[in-house]
């Protein structure tokens, strides 16, 4: 039930400690409160899992990015403080767990980009996330523009004149800050999601830091680097080359403390070490 102070997309957190009450008043901008976490993950078990999933030759193969999206969504579902955001000096928790990412239609300099937005449910598994990613990627690459891009194109045509452009920006920021943006905009704006993922490995780049934005509500950004082999040490001290990936996570430090975030990273790495757990519903707890 929606109560006074709640937003269309989130509920106002009322019973909070004094630290979470004071922090937004002292540091109101999301970009001033970024905590960056860098991790290197051994992908040995993920690669074995993908080989097994693709053994029967599915029409749309399972890949590491789908594993990563599912693992991040499950992590946020089981660590709900990561699904919080601060807007207009208040702390909110989203009504759903969602993920957004960019789709490159053609890997060329002049290739257009589209946007994908995953609205997850606690009952989702890697299979349903895999199918939804396939649906959205196929539509953007073969059918046309996604809804968010269509909306931006329409606004460009209407408000292209400089004075109107400035008025549009001011009005949009006013509505965004107060949670008054139309539900249709919130549903397709990637920076209104729980997390934005950037698969830089698909364009042969390393993972690294990516800033958050003061626009929207996204409190977490995950950058995925290029997969490559590197040396790992076994328990007996011997060295072994294994497939791995670097991850860069940027989090708004006002939404949770360092211990909570460190356990979230631990959970994420555990899910990547035991990817079979992603076949469980996102909302089903795991030991880690």
Percentage of the chain beyond pLDDT 70 is 93
For residue 150, pLDDT over 80 is answered with no
Measured CA to CA in angstroms, residue 114 lies from 87, 101, 103, 140, 190 at distances of: 27, 9, 5, 6, 11
pLDDT at position 155 is 57
pLDDT at position 6 is 95
pLDDT at position 154 is 61
Q: Distance (Å, rounded) from C-alpha 155 to C-alpha 161?
A: 11
Percentage of the chain beyond pLDDT 90 is 71
pLDDT at position 259 is 95
pLDDT at position 108 is 75
Q: pLDDT confidence of 46, banded at 50, 70, 90?
A: very high
Q: pLDDT confidence of 151, banded at 50, 70, 90?
A: low
- Structural domains in the chain? 10-279 (3.30.559.10)
pLDDT per position as a tens digit, 214-244: 999 999 999 999 999 999 999 899 999 999 9
pLDDT at position 49 is 98
pLDDT per position as a tens digit, 55-93: 988 889 999 999 999 999 999 999 999 999 999 999 999
- The stretch 167-176 carries a mean pLDDT of 84
| Residue-averaged pLDDT of the chain | 91
Specify the residue for token string 């959205």. Answer: 136
Q: Distance (Å, rounded) from C-alpha 62 to C-alpha 55?
A: 10
Q: Distance (Å, rounded) from C-alpha 287 to C-alpha 241?
A: 28
pLDDT at position 173 is 86
Q: Distance (Å, rounded) from C-alpha 47 to C-alpha 62?
A: 10
Q: Which of 15-29, 54-68, 145-159 is predicted least confidently? A: 145-159
pLDDT per position as a tens digit, 106-137: 777 777 788 899 999 999 999 999 999 999 99
pLDDT at position 158 is 60
For residue 159, pLDDT over 60 is answered with no
What three-state secondary structure class fits 42? strand
- The stretch 147-172 carries a mean pLDDT of 68
DSSP state of 172: H
Q: The tokens of 167 are what?
A: 């008025």
Higher pLDDT, 176 or 67: 67
SS percent in the chain: helix, strand, coil, step 5: 40, 25, 35
């Amino acid at each position: 039930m929606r109560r006074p102070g709640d937003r269309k997309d989130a509920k106002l957190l009322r019973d909070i400690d004094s630290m979470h009450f004071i922090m937004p008043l002292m540091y109101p901008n999301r970009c001033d409160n970024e905590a960056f976490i860098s991790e290197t993950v051994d992908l040995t078990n993920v690669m074995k899992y993908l080989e097994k999933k693709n053994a029967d030759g599915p029409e749309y193969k399972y890949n590491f990015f789908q594993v990563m999206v599912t693992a991040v969504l499950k992590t946020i579902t089981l660590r709900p403080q990561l699904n919080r955001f601060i807007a207009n000096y208040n702390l909110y928790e989203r009504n759903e767990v969602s993920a957004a990412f960019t789709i490159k239609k053609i890997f060329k300099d002049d290739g257009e980009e589209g946007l994908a937005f995953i609205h997850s449910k606690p009952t989702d598994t890697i299979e349903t996330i895999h199918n939804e990613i396939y649906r959205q990627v196929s539509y953007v690459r073969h059918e046309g523009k996604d809804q968010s891009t269509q909306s931006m194109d329409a606004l460009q045509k209407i408000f292209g004149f400089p004075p109107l452009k400035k008025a549009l920006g001011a009005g949009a920021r006013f509505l965004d800050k107060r949670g008054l943006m139309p539900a249709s905009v919130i549903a397709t704006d990637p920076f209104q999601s729980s997390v934005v993922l950037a698969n830089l490995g698909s364009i042969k780049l390393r993972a690294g830091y990516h800033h958050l934005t003061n626009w929207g509500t996204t409190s977490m950004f995950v950058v995925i680097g290029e997969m490559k082999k590197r040396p790992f040490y076994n328990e007996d001290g011997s060295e072994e080359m294994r497939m791995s990936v670097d991850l860069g996570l940027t989090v708004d430090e006002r939404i949770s403390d360092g211990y909570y975030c460190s356990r979230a990273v631990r959970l994420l790495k555990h899910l990547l070490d035991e990817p079979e757990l992603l076949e469980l519903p996102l909302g089903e707890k795991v030991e880690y």
